[in-house]
Amino acid sequence: MPKKGLNKQMINEPKLSGKWVKWLGIWTVWTLFGVFFASQFALQNQLSKNPVPFWKILSWQMVSGYVWFGLSPLILYLARKFPFEAGKWQKSLTIHFSASLLIAFFQQAIDTFLLTKLGYPPNREFANFLEAYKFFVYINLHLSILIYWGVVGIKSAYSYYQKYRERELQTSQLEARLATSRLQVLKMQLHPHFLFNTLNAISELIYKDAEAAERMLGDLSDLLRMSFEKLEIQEISLKQELEFLKKYLEIEQMRFQDRLKVEMNIAPETLDAKVPNMILQPLVENAIKHGLAPRIEGGKIEIGAIRNNGSLNLSVSDDGIGISSAGLENLAEGVGLSNTKKRLKHLYGEAHKFVLAAENKGFQVNLTIPFKEIET
């Protein structure tokens, strides 16, 4: 029970703090209002035959300003309760017009009572309160109405700005959730694709080398564990990505044995760079499947990573059978490469490059993304 009470207190404290800041700001505005009109009155007072001390002028204007400060909660409430929105503005206009008159007359009554006690207006006396009130109304009523509408206008403008920012925030959050969902769908498509191909490789070994197939199943178990541990994560460090890739390559090397050689040229400063989760595996899988598997002697895959100013350049190349232009188009439509392109587009927009290079002997994929280090 004490913990629950403490939590409520911690939640309420920021709200109370925010309210204090808000009303301190409003109090400051009305203080500046009083100073502004005091300075104006003081300049006009210089033309008088009997100038009034500035402190007295300041006291009059401050009293009037703080009367408006006291009326501010009511005006702000009315502005919030009766906004100028579609379908409501006619009713709101009628209410605010009436309220502006009532509050202006009420404010002038308070000013009359207080300021006459403080010697305002100078060098003039009134027979009674009603006479003084008429004087104040004739002199300042229009200004009071204008001040009311000024407060309502500022509050309305601020409310519209808040709603605009809220809509902007909701839109950006919706777009972010939509992009995340699309990325998740693309990534989930890779898992069954990768799993099917790996199980197919294991099934080829069961009757040829049962011991190797058993080891491969163990590696597959580790690989799947690593994969599903980071299922919800879109970006990981290059170091983690390479650890996953090495596990996958161990499985493939059991299958191809001496026919598959792997060379990694990874610049040390790139290991902490952010990369899309499971970005290299489909590229390596394509290189093995389409480049090396058809060759009796197999071949070599090279994986590279370098930092180039503000970019990270990753490459996967093989010295396999190569591919024709028509074959390149078909390959680009496959699950691995097409998903890779879509994921890069969602994550980095135009700030990435994805280039396929087909040669008579071999195939290369180059991708460039912004260089950002993983947060530790």
Confidence of residue 289 (pLDDT cuts 50, 70, 90): confident
The alpha-helical segments, DSSP class H, found in the chain are 2-45, 54-81, 89-117, 129-206, 210-229, 238-256, 281-286, 325-332, 335-348
Q: Options 3.10.580.10, 3.30.565.10, 3.40.50.720, 2.60.40.1260; which CATH number does 207-370 get?
A: 3.30.565.10
Confidence of residue 92 (pLDDT cuts 50, 70, 90): confident
Q: In the predicted model, what is the mean pLDDT of residues 36-43?
A: 82
Q: In the predicted model, what is the mean pLDDT of residues 325-348?
A: 72
User: Which tens digit of pLDDT belongs to each residue from 115-164?
Assistant: 888 888 887 888 889 989 999 899 889 999 999 998 998 888 888 888 88
Nearest partner of 291 among 341, 368, 340, 360, judged by Cα: 360
Q: In the predicted model, what is the mean pLDDT of residues 230-248?
A: 83
User: Which tens digit of pLDDT belongs to each residue from 171-199?
Assistant: 666 555 555 544 454 454 445 656 676 67
DSSP secondary structure, 212-262, as one string = HHHHHHHHHHHHHHHHHHTTT-SEEEHHHHHHHHHHHHHHHHHHHGGGEEE
pTM score of the predicted model: 0.50
Q: In the predicted model, what is the mean pLDDT of residues 44-52?
A: 73
Q: Residue 215's pLDDT is what?
A: 79
Q: Residue 145's pLDDT is what?
A: 92
Q: Residue 175's pLDDT is what?
A: 59
Q: Residue 16's pLDDT is what?
A: 57
Q: Which residues contact 186 (CB under 8 A, 6 or more apart)?
A: 339, 342, 343, 346
Q: Would strands 274-276 and 311-318 be described as parallel, antiparallel, or unpaired?
A: unpaired
Q: In the predicted model, what is the mean pLDDT of residues 31-49?
A: 79
Confidence of residue 227 (pLDDT cuts 50, 70, 90): low
Per the CB < 8 A criterion, the answer to whether 111 and 64 are in contact is yes
Domains in the chain: boundaries: 2-163, 207-370
Q: What SS3 state is found at 127?
A: coil
pLDDT of 13 > 60? The answer is no
pLDDT of 360 > 70? The answer is no
Confidence of residue 295 (pLDDT cuts 50, 70, 90): confident
User: Terminal CA-to-CA distance of the chain, rounded, Å?
Assistant: 36
pLDDT of 64 > 90? The answer is no
pLDDT of 4 > 50? The answer is no
What's the CA gap between 98 and 303, in Å, rounded?
Answer: 77
Write out the two tokens for 195. 């799993």
Q: Residue 234's pLDDT is what?
A: 76
Q: In the predicted model, what is the mean pLDDT of residues 325-346?
A: 71
Q: Residue 2's pLDDT is what?
A: 45
